[in-house]
Amino acid sequence: MAVAYILAHFDDEYFATPLIARAGEDQWFLYIADYATPALSARRLAESRAYLAGLGAPAERVIHVGAGSGALDGQVHRHLPDLLPRLAAELARIGPVERFVVTAWEGGHMDHDACAALAVKVAGATPIDQVTLYNGPGLPGRLFRAGIPLADNGPLVRTRMSRAEWLAFAVGVRAFPSQAKTWLGLWPVMFAAYLSRGFAHQALDPIRISQRPHPGPLLYERMYGVTYAEVAASIRTAWPAE
């Protein structure tokens, strides 16, 4: 059976590289956010397909679920009712999924948290692993931590890596030239954390998406002016019939 990755943005897969490299051949990558222009969408999709091809994933398994949805980067939480049937249709086509991997519920970016909510919605009893990207509990302004899982999300599951694997992981960031400006600030913080702490992921307990990711201001509240109250309300009301 398959492993399905539910990811917000093209390049989010980079944070899951050690898991992807070990999960075998039957992996699918489902991207949720839409982009402002078809040209930008195509460019970023091509970058992710090229990166994942190096990890053994065929291009046809890298799917832009949110293409043309209007759920633009930063607005995924506002489009959950429309995105759910798109995601469900792709999962039905894939067939049985034995495990989901999703961007962590961590208050770093509202699109990442929205994907965690979608994963909980479609997974049922299927296990979900969450991979941390960035967050900022206790930090002011635009400061953040990258690659450090929240203690609130439970026990760590560590992945041991050889020096060669670490090197390949580190240089793999070159696969995303369209996002070079973002990675210039993010990558050093991320790899400093990995080199001091190692790589780890966590299971996602479905109850977490009804809880504030951590006490105090969230990173997306500080950086983007989107409140947790808005995100939580969007998730709570996305499927009102239930």
Distance of CA 69 to the CA centre of its chain: 18
* Total structural domains within the chain: 1
Number of C-beta neighbours around residue 8 at 10 A: 26
Phi-psi label, residue 110: left if phi above 0, alpha if psi -120 to 50, beta otherwise: alpha
pLDDT in tens, 42-81: 999 999 999 999 999 999 999 999 999 999 999 999 999 9
Q: Which domain holds residue 192?
A: 2-237
With respect to residue 181, please indicate whether it lies within any of the assigned structural domains: yes
Q: Assess if residue 195 is contained within a domain.
A: yes
Structural domain contains residue 242: no
Q: Say which CATH number the domain at 89 has.
A: 3.40.50.10320
DSSP string, 95-159: --EEEEEEE-SSSS-HHHHHHHHHHHHHHTTS-EEEE--EE-TT--TT--EES---GGG---EEE
Convert the pLDDT of each residue in 150-175 to its tens digit.
Answer: 999 999 999 999 999 999 999 999 99
pTM, full prediction = 0.96
What's the Rg (C-alpha) of the chain?
Answer: 17
What is the enclosing helix (H) or strand (E) of 39?
Answer: helix 38-53
